[in-house]
Amino acid sequence: MVGLGNPGERYASTRHNIGARVVELLAQRWGERLRKVRFLQADAAEGKLDGHPVWLLRPLSFMNVSGPPVASFARKRKVGVDRMVVIHDEIDLAFGALKLKRGGSTAGHNGLRSLVGSLGDPGFHRIRLGVGRPPGRQDPADYVLQAFAKREREGADLMVETAADAVEALIRDGLPAAQDRFNRGPAA
């Protein structure tokens, strides 16, 4: 489970870091602690869910260069792309929407572009968390680096909780069942 984001307190509550927040929550739920991986720009924890070993990974590099530490970690731990789940923000989904899928394009997401380039394969599972489009003509890069607006914080927290539930369902039940249960638009 790879939670994408940017390192440091400055970015902790931004739209771009919502994937990293999901991995942090999973570590907390499973009683694990993310620790710095030696010789790698990443924090990781090894947990178990219903007897299934699961690695939680949070790259400590900036989003646009998150591919190399993820690829290095996966190679070292012999984790195939088909067994990888990447959790990330998605401006092409309405705020609060959540979608699970496998493979696909990067849709202009620089973190995904870096991952695909480093892994050499876009076939990983994805949990896409809708942060909505930027208002007006605001640059998308500036938009995702902003904190959620006060009125959005409760919805963002709910999305993190739901995404953690979706990860657990994906592990337990597989992609089709998790998609049936969790692929949805924004909460009404």
**pLDDT at res. 186:** 67
The residue among 188 and 99 whose pLDDT is bigger is 99
Tell me the average pLDDT across 12-35.
Answer: 96
**pLDDT at res. 188:** 44
- Token pair 């909460």 is found at 187
61 Cα distance to chain centroid: 14
The residue among 108 and 29 whose pLDDT is bigger is 29
Residue 16 bears catalytic tag: yes
**pLDDT at res. 187:** 55
Closest of 118, 170, 8, 187 to residue 179, by C-alpha: 170
CB 25 within 8 A of CB 161: yes
Tell me the average pLDDT across 56-65.
Answer: 96
pLDDT band at 52 (very low <50, low <70, confident <90, very high): confident
Counting Cβ atoms within 10 Å, is residue 45 exposed (0-12), middle (13-18) or buried (19+)?
A: buried
Domain formed by 2-182, architecture: 3-Layer(aba) Sandwich (3.40)
The residue among 187 and 73 whose pLDDT is bigger is 73
Question: What is the C-alpha separation between 87 and 89, in angstroms, rounded?
Answer: 7
CB 73 within 8 A of CB 44: yes
pLDDT at 106 over 70: yes
Q: What's the chain's average pLDDT? A: 94
**pLDDT at res. 184:** 76
Radius of gyration of the chain (CA): 15
pLDDT tens-digit series, residues 122-181: 999 999 999 999 988 999 999 999 999 999 999 999 999 999 999 999 999 999 999 999
16, 88, 109, 125: the catalytic one is 16
- pTM beyond 0.85: yes
**CA dist 28 to 19, 22, 23, 34, 169, Å?**
15, 10, 9, 9, 17
110 Cα distance to chain centroid: 13
